[in-house]
Each structure stands twice: as structure tokens, then as C-alpha cells.
Amino acid sequence: MKLIWRLKSLNEYSSWIFKLAVAVLLLGFACRLFFYQSSSFEPNIETPFVELSKEPVPSAEIPEPPPPPPPVTVDMPKPPASVNTSETFLSSGVQEHEDETPQEELNDGKCDLFTGDWIPNTSGPMYTNATCSLIEGHQNCMRNGRPDSGYLLWRWNPRNCELPPFDAQRFLEVMRNKRWALIGDSISRNHVQSLLCILSTVEQAVEVYHDEEYKSKRWHFASYNFTMSNIWSPFLVKAAIFEDNNGVSSSEVQLQLDKLDTNWTNLYQSFDYMIISTGKWFLKAAIYHENDTEVGCHICPGKNLTEKGFVFAYEKALRYAMNFIATSKHRGLIFFRTSTPDHFENGEWHNGGNCTKITPAKEGEIELKDLNKILRSVELAEFEKASAKAAENGVNLKLLDFTNLLLSRPDGHPGPYRQFHPFAQDKNAKVQNDCLHWCLPGPIDYWNDVIMEMAVNG
Ligand SMILES: *[C@@H]1O[C@H](CO)[C@@H](O)[C@H](O)[C@H]1NC(C)=O
Ligand SMILES: *[C@@H]1O[C@H](CO)[C@@H](O)[C@H](O)[C@H]1NC(C)=O
Ligand SMILES: *[C@@H]1O[C@H](CO)[C@@H](O)[C@H](O)[C@H]1NC(C)=O
Ligand SMILES: *[C@@H]1O[C@H](CO)[C@@H](O)[C@H](O)[C@H]1NC(C)=O
Ligand SMILES: *[C@@H]1O[C@H](CO)[C@@H](O)[C@H](O)[C@H]1NC(C)=O
Ligand SMILES: *[C@@H]1O[C@H](CO)[C@@H](O)[C@H](O)[C@H]1NC(C)=O
Ligand SMILES: *[C@@H]1O[C@H](CO)[C@@H](O)[C@H](O)[C@H]1NC(C)=O
Ligand SMILES: *[C@@H]1O[C@H](CO)[C@@H](O)[C@H](O)[C@H]1NC(C)=O
């Protein structure tokens, strides 16, 4: 991957870095609200948040707009700090690996399933809002009244190989008595619902477990004794998160960079297959700890702590998690999935950003945003280090990098249709857009074609 900063003159470079730092800060504020809300306001009947909360909670269908982010000019680290912050963006992990394309080796010398095109398939999706009851309200674009349906009529077609469509029957047969887990943030939840909806065309999934916050869940397919878990662990490392049910945080996240989140590590050996991912939560305001000592922070003015930048934390946390995996003696198959690109245009989540396209983009039409590039660079670098170690230890670790597949699908997000009929009352209503998660059915259904190919046929 070519990173822009190499090519810039020193002056341009500094101003670019400064803009980037500002963007990071803005996004940090935005994500604070966005990720919490998008993962928590489940309009399913079973959602317990209303009862659990002592605070008044906006109705699941129409969450109140989050309060505006704090003014950047006040909270932003002073220029010297942001320059130092930006240095961490350029830390080795980001720069070293820019030209490497690890995908070839990851497909065992076979064709590259991650490079391809979206081609028409007019038969439409394998499931709909009417056949699957597991779709989270905010991603149920059909039910929420999204008027166009052309985005449902494309399938992913790798350029140099045949990718058979997902075969739910065969998948369940092959996975008889097996246990799967999808581990990560709300994108993992988005994905688990896609997979469950497809599998439910053969047999209905039965929810057999949820934690007290309804964040981690497990489903069982009785005829196949197949178990699917979704484990909520947005950082993979231990984190104390101080956000109320409105997504308003009362304090920075406290992140233990050298302690893994036992939510997933305790169950790790019980799974045959895992898809592990993380990403955007690291952009949030956080205090970083190592060895039980505060070592710095990200976006914490007035705390007398060194602004380290999120890359510092992301590299350490990911390295720690990857090292655990690579040395784990696990005998199943583990996928590490890179974080996913968003398509906010004309702004970001909190200030009117939207995504209005209704067809896939042409190749090269959309460039990966800088923040997404940075996250992905760290991910690829850490994956690469870990995969060598994993191979030595007989751990089967593979990469799922859906960046290209997703980048060309700006049409796949809920946009305003994260809410139920957002324009029913007022066709000019100002509503929040979701250009990060994916409509179900939608493009991420095709992740499963790729995963099946790698896990079953590969
Ligand atoms: C920024 O880093 C430079 C050296 O890299 C150091 O001399 C300076 O004190 C740092 N500034 C702050 C505010 O930490
Ligand atoms: C097109 O979509 C339908 C329904 O999802 C599916 O059954 C069919 O296999 C797809 N065709 C191809 C060529 O992928
Ligand atoms: C599914 O969406 C359609 C609109 O596309 C709507 O008419 C229908 O009521 C929805 N069904 C369910 C079960 O949500
Ligand atoms: C179901 O699968 C689990 C492993 O996931 C296994 O321990 C158990 O024995 C299986 N049950 C039956 C009835 O085969
Ligand atoms: C572990 O799971 C619990 C219950 O879902 C959740 O409250 C907690 O935030 C999770 N831990 C981390 C580090 O995310
Ligand atoms: C961790 O902290 C303890 C004391 O709090 C210290 O004895 C130990 O050397 C530290 N370990 C590392 C690796 O820094
Ligand atoms: C900030 O931290 C430094 C080093 O830990 C300490 O010397 C200084 O007194 C602190 N300043 C304030 C205002 O707390
Ligand atoms: C998207 O945002 C831009 C800029 O705020 C605005 O001009 C445009 O009308 C919006 N499009 C839709 C469909 O909301």
C-alpha cells in the first residue's frame, strides 16, 4: 500500500499531519457516540436496555441525536503535542509494510479471493427482512423503508478464480458438531447476523445464551449441533468503558494494553473456528496502561499525561493479541479480519456526513480514507509478524482483508435508514446517517462466500 506521506515535501507533510491529527480527534469524538449507539440500541424486543437503565433512554427506533462533540479548538492537544502524536502515526508498523501485499501467501498459492468486482446477480439476496428475524434494527434497511433495492442485486466475483455462492446446507453439514465464534465490535455483530440469516434458510438458529448486557450471544443449530458465538470485545484487550446508554461518556476508556480481555480468551480454546477483529474503538479518547501503570493517553487534555496517539495503543494491543493467538497451540482455524472502511461524505458521523450512492463504485473511484489506511497498515503489519510465528507453532491463522471488496460498496450502508422510516413525518427531516455498518441483506453477506471457500473448500 502506498502511503501518501512518503511523497510529500516537508512543508506539505507537516500540514498534512496536522490535518490528520485534527481528523483523528474529530473522529475520536464521533466514535465515542457512534460506536456505542450503533452497538447498543437494539430494537429487538429482547433488548434489556430500557429496563436496566436508570436514565431515560430514547426509544430504540429514534435515538436522540447525540450531543455535539466538544469544540475541537478547546480539547485538541496543542500543536507540539499533536506533532508528537503524529509521529506515532509514522511509527515503524505503519511505514515498513507499505509495499507488501500479504494476500498471496495467505491464499495458499491459490487465487486472490479479495481482489475482484461486483457483478449483477438479479436473483437477489438469499434472505430478506421477512425470512430472517435476527437483523438488528439499525441495519434492517428493508424494514426501515430504504426505497431503492438495486444494492441487493450484486455479487462479489474474484477476478481470477471461481467463487461458488455460499451453500448453507453444505456449510452446516461440514460444520456438524463444530463451534464458531466471531469476536470483536459491532461490525462483528453485523457479520454474525449476516451469517446466521443465511444459515437460517436451512434451519432456524436458536439463541441459547446472552450475557447480562446482551452484547455477547450464542446460537445453536440443533440438527447439526453447530454453535455460533458472537463475543463482544471491541478492543481485544481489557478495557473499562464509561459510557451511559445514551453513548455519552463520563470519562476516557481505561485500556490495559498488556492484558487481554478474558471475555474471549477464556473461551478461546473451546472454539474450532474464530474470526477475530478490532479497530475503530481505538480512535476513542483513552488512558493507556501497561503493567498497571498509566503510560499515556489519547485525547486527554488537562490530564498531565503524554498524548501517545492511537497507533501506539493499537500496535501494542494488537501485537499482544496476535502473540497470544500465534503461540496458543490452537488446532482449529483462526481468521484475523481487518477493520472495515466507512463511506461518510460531506462530513463525519456527528456533523451531517452522509452516503447517498445507490450503486457500487467503479474501481479506483473511492480512495481509502487516511484513518482507515492507518488502521489497516497496523493490522497488516501485526498480522504478518504473527503469521510467521503461528506457522512455526502449527497455528492455522489466516487473513480476511475485505477492504477492496467493501471500498467499492458505498451503496451498502443504512445511511438514514438506520432508523425506522426516518422521513415518514417530515421528508426533510435531519437524521443521523450510518455509513459504517452494513445493510442486511447487503454486501457483507458475500464475506461468507469467501470464508466458506477458505474454511470448507480451501
Ligand atoms: C515532542 O517531541 C520532541 C522530540 O521528539 C521533544 O523534544 C518534545 O519535548 C516533545 N514535546 C512534547 C510536548 O512532548
Ligand atoms: C445469485 O443469487 C442467488 C440468490 O442469492 C443464488 O442462489 C445464486 O447462486 C446466485 N448466482 C450466482 C452465480 O452467484
Ligand atoms: C420487510 O420490508 C418490507 C419493505 O421492504 C415491509 O413491507 C415489510 O413489512 C417488512 N417485513 C418485516 C417482517 O419486517
Ligand atoms: C455437540 O458438539 C459438541 C462440540 O461442539 C460436542 O462436545 C457434543 O458431544 C456434541 N453433541 C452431540 C450430541 O453430538
Ligand atoms: C466483556 O463483556 C462484558 C459483558 O458483555 C462487557 O460489559 C465488557 O465491556 C466486556 N469487556 C470488554 C473489555 O469489552
Ligand atoms: C511491573 O511493575 C512492578 C511493580 O509495580 C515491577 O516490579 C515490575 O518490574 C514491572 N514490570 C515491568 C515489565 O515493567
Ligand atoms: C505533571 O507530571 C509531571 C511528571 O509526572 C510532574 O512532575 C508534574 O508536577 C505534573 N504537573 C501537574 C500540574 O500535575
Ligand atoms: C448529503 O449531505 C450534503 C452536505 O450536507 C447535502 O447537501 C445533501 O443534501 C445530503 N444528501 C442527502 C440525500 O441527504
* Per-residue pLDDT tens digits for 31-88: 443 443 333 333 222 222 222 222 332 333 333 333 333 332 222 222 222 223 222 2
pLDDT tens-digit map of 221-269: 999 999 999 999 999 999 999 877 666 778 899 999 999 999 999 999 9
C-alpha span between 50 and 246 (Å, rounded): 11
Domain containing residue 269: 4-457
Mean pLDDT of 441-448: 98
Q: How far is the CA of 130 from the centre of ligand 3 (A)?
A: 6
**Is ligand 1 within 6 A of the CB of residue 78?**
no
Which of 39, 186, 194, 387 is flagged as catalytic? 186
Atom of ligand 8 nearest to the CA of 433: 14
pLDDT tens-digit map of 317-353: 999 999 999 999 999 999 999 999 999 999 988 888 9
Which amino acid appears at position 17 of this protein?
A: I
Q: In what order do the strands lie in the sheet with 286-290?
A: 237-240, 253-260, 286-290, 293-298
Protein residue closest via CA to atom 10 of ligand 1: 84
For residue 170, give the CATH number of its domain.
3.40.50.1110
User: How many domains would you assign to the chain?
Assistant: 1
Known catalytic residue: 437?
A: yes
The total of other beta-carbon atoms located within 10 Å of residue 331's CB is: 10
Which of 272, 434, 445, 449 is flagged as catalytic? 434
Q: How far is the CA of 191 from the centre of ligand 5 (A)?
A: 19
Q: How far is the CA of 291 from the centre of ligand 6 (A)?
A: 6
Alpha helices in 76-123 (DSSP H): 79-89, 92-96, 103-106
